[in-house]
Copies of this chain bind each other. A is one copy, B any other.
Amino acid sequence: MAVALSPATTTLRLIKPFSATALRRLYIFYKPKPFFSISLPTISSISSVAAALPLSRRTFCSVIPSAISSGEATKTETLEKKVGEFRKKNKIVDIKGGPDEGLNLVGETVVVKGWVRTLRIQSSVTFIEVNDGSCLSNMQCVMSSDAEGYDQVESGLISTGASAWIQGTIVSSQGSKQKIELKVEKLITIGKSDPSFPIQKKRVSREFLRTKAHLRPRTNTFGAVARVRNALSYATHRFFQENGFVWISSPIVTASDCEGAGEQFCVTTLVPTSGEPGDSPVNAIPKTEDGLIDWSKDFFGKPAFLTVSGQLNAEAYATALTDVYTFGPTFRAENSNTSRHLAEFWMIEPELAFADLDDDMACAAAYLQYVVEYILENCKEDMDFFNTWIEKGIIKRLSDVVEKKFVQLTYTDAVELLLKAKKKFEFPVQWGCDLQSEHERYITEEEFGGCPVIIRDYPKEIKAFYMRQNNDGKTVAAMDMLVPRVGELIGGSQREERLDYLEERLAELKLNKESYWWYLDLRRYGSVPHAGFGLGFERLVQFATGIENIRDAIPFPRSPGSAEF
């Protein structure tokens, strides 16, 4: 292996890719992206030559990448030298991602760097499909035996999984799958791929790929999921920033007793942590005279846990900055080995001050429509892929979400509706019960024909202590947003801002008032009506991609028995 990798690097040195003759100017089209196009002068990715050209068709020069040199300093006369300019990389998406899929570049010389997906050696010509992860599309590279570096194809250096540097001319393609292809002038193997490469052309199962979480982003499906996940994340930030929300990082480790410790992970330094499994005697754990764990010796001086929600912390900031949101990881030590549960997942939790449940629902609906519209606009190729290969009709389903007005009804009315339904449910319905996934899906999919539905005003017994009591004394100002296929996607509520109501509720639930001292303070000093909601980000990724198992919606999933990588 080691020997096999070295020649490629050595080859590079021999052919001197940095010589003056090699520094050919390669022009490629600069595609202005509407959402990404504002760049400040100092960080402009366009060279000064290019800057002088009109905006509609800017070109910029690219040198053969210094990337494949070593990282050594070049000795200069003086001790110091200036740091070079950062340039936006030329990627396959920049070539093929435009409206004419690259046809405008026919005749241009470009360099592509990426990983070989497939190789077809024919008598006259070799087809190499190269992908760099910037888009779903490969660049089809067509190489004849007289091109420079063809010996690397012949010797087997170029195979599925190998990485390569390929220079060539854009020509229009005769294939039906793409408009253009690359006529190879020169190829350099950067790193070969061992024949054991587990992701060969034959289809591999998602279960298998979960055991190769470090390599699965090199597949079509996981590359597309990663890009759409990224777009959903960015759209989330954009939505809240455009509406004046401040991003807050709520704490991950917390010794606050507010969160009901039942399904929390303990975070500790008391357990011997050398990482060697043999090196963790129970006896080494500090204990009190009573044989209890001596928490005073722990890092935080008391039991500490991984957070299950940043909401209470977000409330503190909302009652100072008006509108805030969190976007960070949260945890459940729930022993659920299902396709809907993760032990570690990302949550988005906006919190709005001077807001009631109506404002909260309006915000949740606007948020969902915004991010869904964003990916439909900005991830067309990936969404077409999901529509074809993962869930037929997903684009229609998502477009419905963008276009339809969301419906709201009360829990009481929803129960009435379910009782009248002709459908037979596994779990019987009665006022006071928690709605099951089958009920939720029936409502959104069958009763309201695929329109997202918000159910509000749930019985207080089945909801959290902090939710605002309605005047009926029986329900709270809670809401759940149901969407087709997924069921509950968002849960939120108006928070109880009245100190006396909140204290009473804590007492009823036998929760320790002292633990909530700071949370109660928010009601003691300038309390305001406020509301918020929570959204599991991986659920959103599932909803937006059609991916069935939530473990495929996050790069490195954590579940019972599994925290590899």
Say yes or no for A430: interface residue by CB 8 A criterion: no
A214 CB contacts on chain B under 8 angstroms: 313, 316, 518-519, 521-522
Say yes or no for A29: interface residue by CB 8 A criterion: no
A328 CB contacts on chain B under 8 angstroms: 328-329
Q: How far is the CA of A389 from the CA of B344 in the complex (A)?
A: 41
Chain A 400-417 near chain B by CB (<8 Å), digits 1 or 0: 001101111110010011
Other A-B pairs, 4, CB within 8 Å; known A83-B406, A317-B555: A40-B370, A70-B470, A134-B321, A250-B555
Say yes or no for A362: interface residue by CB 8 A criterion: yes
Q: How far is the CA of A246 from the CA of B85 in the complex (A)?
A: 21
A561 CB contacts on chain B under 8 angstroms: 299-301
Stretch at the interface among A118-126, A171-179, A496-504: A496-504
Closest chain-B Cβ to A363's Cβ sits at a distance in Å of 5
| Known pairs A83-B407, A91-B244, A344-B252; A113 contacts B354 (CB<8 A) | yes
Say yes or no for A192: interface residue by CB 8 A criterion: yes
Closest chain-B Cβ to A227's Cβ sits at a distance in Å of 6
Q: How far is the CA of A165 from the CA of B286 in the complex (A)?
A: 54
Interface centre among A86, A292, A356 (most CB of B within 10 A): A86
Closest chain-B Cβ to A110's Cβ sits at a distance in Å of 14
Say yes or no for A218: interface residue by CB 8 A criterion: yes
Q: Would you list 9 pairs from A and B whose C-beta atoms are within 8 A, ordered by A residue?
A: A34-B38, A36-B242, A42-B370, A43-B366, A113-B354, A163-B319, A190-B354, A251-B555, A266-B268
Q: How far is the CA of A223 from the CA of B113 in the complex (A)?
A: 46
Of B71, B408, B528, the residue contacting A477 (CB under 8 A) is B71
* B71/A518 in contact, CB under 8 A: no
A217 CB contacts on chain B under 8 angstroms: 316-317, 320-321
Chain A 504-526 near chain B by CB (<8 Å), digits 1 or 0: 00000000000000110111111
A91 CB contacts on chain B under 8 angstroms: 244, 322
Say yes or no for A471: interface residue by CB 8 A criterion: yes
A54 CB contacts on chain B under 8 angstroms: none
For window 327-374 of A, CB contacts with B under 8 Å fall at 328-329, 331, 333, 335, 343-344, 346, 352-359, 361-363, 365-367, 369-370, 373-374
| Known pairs A71-B468, A247-B234; A226 contacts B317 (CB<8 A) | yes
* B266/A271 in contact, CB under 8 A: yes
* A282/B278 in contact, CB under 8 A: no
A527 CB contacts on chain B under 8 angstroms: 5, 163, 190-191
* B477/A70 in contact, CB under 8 A: yes
Q: How far is the CA of A34 from the CA of B493 in the complex (A)?
A: 33
Stretch at the interface among A98-106, A257-265, A432-440, A542-550: A257-265
* B249/A252 in contact, CB under 8 A: no
Say yes or no for A215: interface residue by CB 8 A criterion: yes
Q: How far is the CA of A527 from the CA of B190 in the complex (A)?
A: 7
A270 CB contacts on chain B under 8 angstroms: 271
Say yes or no for A89: interface residue by CB 8 A criterion: yes
Closest chain-B Cβ to A542's Cβ sits at a distance in Å of 15
Stretch at the interface among A20-28, A142-150, A302-310, A421-429: A302-310
Closest chain-B Cβ to A213's Cβ sits at a distance in Å of 8
Say yes or no for A486: interface residue by CB 8 A criterion: no
Q: How far is the CA of A355 from the CA of B457 in the complex (A)?
A: 55
Q: How far is the CA of A492 from the CA of B194 in the complex (A)?
A: 29
* B256/A565 in contact, CB under 8 A: yes
Chain A 28-44 near chain B by CB (<8 Å), digits 1 or 0: 00000011111110110
| Known pairs A86-B365, A256-B564, A523-B191; A5 contacts B273 (CB<8 A) | no
A363 CB contacts on chain B under 8 angstroms: 86
Q: Which residue on chain B has the smallest CB distance to residue A345?
A: B249
Say yes or no for A563: interface residue by CB 8 A criterion: yes
For window 207-227 of A, CB contacts with B under 8 Å fall at 213-215, 217-218, 223, 226-227
